[in-house]
Amino acid sequence: MRIWGLLTIFAALAFGQGANAVVLTGSMTTNNSGQIFPGVDYTVPADGLTYRWDLFTDSAHPNAIITLGGPNDIFAIDKISNGDGTAHNVFSATDPNFMWNAIYAPGHTTIFVEADPSFNNCSGVFPAGVLCGRTNNVFGNSAALGVNVQDIVTITFSATAVPEPAAWALMLTGVFGVGAVLRQRRRMLREAQPSLN
């Protein structure tokens, strides 16, 4: 049991990052008078993680194509040092870096999104005028969600954080470590068995 506990911990470390920043969960039903269901609101978490959003149509519409509008409100708030340990906020016209990649397939659309992490290093004394913090904001406010059929379609959402390469490496290290412990334990048990001769 101890071995499985270790495996669970390693898996949690690998996959647990960003688990609380899930967006687009649940389901929604489109109306039958048009192809667009407006008013989908979402926020891309500003944590630097890549998220995979999966959108599925119901079984009655296996060939329907789902489209979701990309972020329509992207901005950053910069923290500029005053030179005395304090800082002031400046609205930045510079868009924070973000990624939006949609893959359309009948009955299933996959979207990968990522926004730069916000940061705040303004606790120390920086020279006046130096950028010491930034809040990145990527919103899809009342974004249009569409399907290419004029019918009542139920769309189901799911969202998961895509593990980074370092997280995969940590998980694989844990799995190989558990395997090594099991092999060592089996060898010790074989050696400890009394000889029948």
pTM above 0.85, yes or no: no
| Pair 65, 138 in one domain | yes
| Pair 135, 157 in one domain | yes
Give me the numbers of helices (H) and strands (E) for the chain, helices first please.
Answer: 2, 11
| Pair 175, 79 in one domain | no
| Pair 60, 135 in one domain | yes
The tokens of 104 are what? 């359309």
What are the C-alpha distances in Å from 29 to residues 1, 131, 142, 151?
44, 45, 16, 10
Instruction: Compare 138 and 26 and report the one with higher pLDDT.
Output: 138
pLDDT at 5: 38
The total number of structural domains in the chain stands at 2
What are the C-alpha distances in Å from 43 to residues 19, 99, 130, 140?
15, 13, 28, 6
- 31 near 152, Cβ under 8 Å? yes
pLDDT at 77: 94
Percent of the chain topping pLDDT 90: 38
Q: What residues does 87 pair with on adjacent strands? A: 81
Inform me whether the pLDDT recorded for 195 exceeds 70.
no
Burial of 119 (0-12, 13-18, 19+ CB in 10 A): middle
Give the structural domain span for 173: 1-17+164-192
Please give the average per-residue pLDDT across 140-147, as a whole number.
85
The reply to whether 86 falls in a domain is yes
- 155 near 30, Cβ under 8 Å? yes
- 108 near 154, Cβ under 8 Å? no
The reply to whether 197 falls in a domain is no
pLDDT at 185: 66
| Pair 157, 119 in one domain | yes
Which among 178, 149, 133, 166 is positioned nearest to 13, based on CA atoms? 166
* Tens digits of residue pLDDT in 43-74: 999 999 999 999 999 999 999 999 998 888 89
The reply to whether 119 falls in a domain is yes
* Tens digits of residue pLDDT in 150-169: 888 888 988 899 985 444 34
